[in-house]
Structure 1
Amino acid sequence: MSIKAIDFSRQAVYETQLLAKAMPPNSLGRLASLALKLALIKEGPLDSLSLLLFAGDHGVVEEGVTHSPQQITYQQCCNFASGGGACSLFASLNHATLSVIDVGVNHSFSEHEAVVDCKIGYGTRNFLQGPAMGREQCLQAMEAGRNRVRVAIETGAHAIAFGEMGVGNTTSASAVAAALTNLPVSAITGKGSGLSDAELEHKISVIEQALVLHPERDPLTVLCNLGGYEIAAICGGMLEAAEASLPILLDGFVVTSAALVANAMDEYFHKYLIPCHQSGMQGHRRMLESLGCGQPLLDLQMQLGEGTGALAAWPLVRLASHLLTDMTSFSDAQVTDSTKLLQSMGLV
């Protein structure tokens, strides 16, 4: 199965439908543009969102790139799975389905903790000492992501969003992004959860050393060498969602690094992305520009991750998806067609 090129010949039909709605032309601005983009990806209203939150630990934390102790990864997974945290709150308020999935956490979860077990390993290796993951492990993580998307589709998801949890994962995300975009490491590396200026310089140095140690730039090798289990799972899941012609609600910095890998694997992939927000993390805007998926819907300076940016944008996406099918037209509403009047005057 491969990703289909979107049929843009249908766009004129949808534009005509939108102009027939009982409102002045172009009066909904970017919301109307979003409606057109969504219709080209998947016709019909979107009412069911599945957020797949993948978790994994990172060996590079040995290099002092974060102040957060690694046990926070598994602790937060338990918190999210039990209904805590921002992602759970946002999902609940949005009536979205949240799944917390362990692909590489350095912890053994018990059944009662409600974390989905897709474990490939107990954290990646330190990528300054060799590849973060073996090729087979990376492919297994990607397949785990694909499988969870299939489950989401089988249970009725109309759109898919991805979240992540993993102490140290902004270091891996920056490394992956730098390798695939050729942007300077300093341009796409931020302080994460509160580094000092000097500590940020150290983090940048660690990533620069890794790029020299791992000079290969094909996407799968980059993912193996510099990524994380959760980044690999998100990459695989995104490819599966795009192959199923579903809109993908793109979250923040770490999830976007996975999208860069998927985009390097398939030329049509980025057309299925709905960029939900511009993260407050250093360099996220430039990563989005490299993807070529358009302007993000929100810019709230969020940098939490967990899929919270996608969840914040979901109400806008859902609204836009209903415009073509559910909004009354001039004729249905028995309202004088002011758009046709403007068209007759050559103003539209």
Structure 2
Amino acid sequence: MAVVAVNTEIEKEARAHQDNLTKPRGALGRLEDIACWFASRQGKLLPDPLLPHIAVFAGDHGVCEEGISAYPSVVTGEMVKNFARGGAAINVLARQCGATLAIIDVGVMSDLSGFEGITHKKFGSGTANLLREAAMPQNQCAAAIEAGRSEAKAAIAAGANLLIAGDMGIGNTTASASIICRLTGTTPEAVVGFGTGVDENGRSLKVDVVRRALERISGKADELVLQEVGGLEIAAMAGFYLQAAESGIPIVIDGFIASAAALAARVIEPQVTNWMLASHISHENGHALALEALGLSPLINFEMRLGEGSGAALVVPLLQSAIALHSQMATFASAGVTDKDG
């Protein structure tokens, strides 16, 4: 299925409409660009208000056995339970911005089968150690991608017109750094950060692990990078993005892990980025490099490095404001205000 084309004619009409609103042309800066961006994606001169859906995909990572995380893998399952109970940052932000929220277990090591509030689509108890072998077999990676697609389809069928993917997985900054390095041609030293809070020695270890993982997969096709050094939750996020773009639904990209998933999705379908907005610039090393490679410009810089979809959820009110201003402000003609050229 192909990515839906952007309606460039509507975007031109939206730009003209912006120029006729009762303000100096360009006075609202990037808010004007955002409104026109949504007009072209919704195919409407005056876009509808946003109905966001956030899907947090969770999975564990075998590379944690190399000591690359400040937290043990058990924390993944514990945090997923916290999401299900409504106590995490993404729960607060989802409630605040009026988003529906789904928590999807695609590969958590802990057994969460009896816990309510979690969608159970587990394809294994975490990945293999990406330093030593492929993180997952091809069929498992494909199943995780399809799980992301399925979640996007369900959200769109329920009325969502904006999709956000969040992540939870101890060790996933190492997997994401490996993806970003490989798909941008950047060195591990420039991309690897401090993740959940490792010290300088811990970061040096992560750099070495990523470097050696990249050496292991050198010569392999980019199409294999996701299964070689990715994660089940990252694969699901990539599928989520692909389905959104193929359904003509805008996507807000969150932080470091989300940008790795976006790069992986672009390998599968290069046009997927036409449907992406970048929410923020993460405090994590390499995020700026990933966004630059994707051709995306972040909206805010609050030095965040949480994940969960938190940065993307945080900007939803800004996006709503951009659309409201575009749709509800008077024009010079309707307000009886003399334009500078009139």
- 1:296 and 2:298 equivalent? yes
| 1:116 counterpart (102, 116, 119) | 119
The letter for the 1-side match of 2:335 is: A
Instruction: State the one-letter code of the partner of 2:201.
Output: A
* Correspondence 1:250 to 2:228: no
Moved more, 141-150 or 93-102: 93-102
Instruction: Tell me the alpha carbon deviations over residues 97-150 of structure 1, each in whole angstroms, 9 at most, x when there is no partner.
Output: 111100010122134431110111110000122100100000000000000001
Match of 1:113, SS?
Answer: coil
Residues 12-31 of structure 1: pairs in structure 2 closer than 5 A: 12-31=12-31
Aligned residues: 339
1:234-278 Cα shifts (integer Å, max 9, x gaps): 000000001111110110000100001111222211111111000
Are residues 1:178 and 2:199 paired?
no
- The 2-side partners of 1:337 and 1:236 are apart by 50
Instruction: Check the 8 A contact 1:46/1:159 in 2, yes or no.
Output: no
TM-score of the two chains, using structure 1 as the length reference: 0.94
Distance 1:224 1:216 in 2: 15
After superposing the two structures, state which structure 1 stretch, 242-251 or 318-327, moved more.
318-327
C-alpha separation in 2, matches of 1:217 and 1:297 = 35
Residue 345 of structure 1 aligns with which residue? none
Once the two structures are TM-superposed, the CA of residue 337 in structure 1 deviates from its matched residue by 3.4
Q: Aligned ranges for residues 230-245 of structure 1 at < 5 Å?
A: 230-245=233-248
Give TM-score scaled by structure 2 length. 0.96
Contact 1:159/1:249 (8 A) holds in 2: yes
Instruction: Say yes or no: does 1:162 pair with 2:165.
Output: yes
Amino acid at match of 1:18: Q
Identity over aligned residues, as a percent? 35
Equivalent positions of 1:310-321 (< 5 A) are 310-321=312-323
1:41 matched to which residue of 2? 41
The one of 50, 67, 71 aligned to 2:70? 67
CA RMSD for the aligned pairs?
Answer: 1.3
Q: Which amino acid aligns with 2:40?
A: L
8 A Cα contact 1:102 1:118, kept in partner: yes
Report if the CA contact (8 A) 1:160-1:246 is conserved.
yes
* Whole-Å separation in 1 of the counterparts to 2:268 and 2:220: 12
Which structure 2 residues correspond to residues 189-338 of structure 1 after superposition, within 5 A? 189-293=192-296, 295-334=297-336, 336-338=337-339
For residues 9 and 22 of structure 1, what CA distance do their matches in structure 2 show? Answer: 23
By how many angstroms is 1:320 displaced?
A: 1.4
Question: What SS does the corresponding residue of 2:258 show, helix, strand or coil?
Answer: helix
Q: Is there any run of 5+ residues in structure 2 with no aligned partner, and where?
A: none
Instruction: Provide the residue aligned with 2:11 in structure 1.
Output: 11
Map of 2:90 onto structure 1:
87
In the alignment, the residues of structure 1 paired with residue 7 and residue 308 of structure 2 have an alpha-carbon distance, to the nearest angstrom, of 32
Q: Answer yes or no: is the 8 Å Cα contact 2:223–2:267 preserved in 1.
A: no
Shift of 1:66: 0.7
Q: 2:113·2:120 contact (CA, 8 Å) conserved in 1?
A: no
Aligned to 2:190: 187
- Residue number in structure 1 paired with 2:54: 51
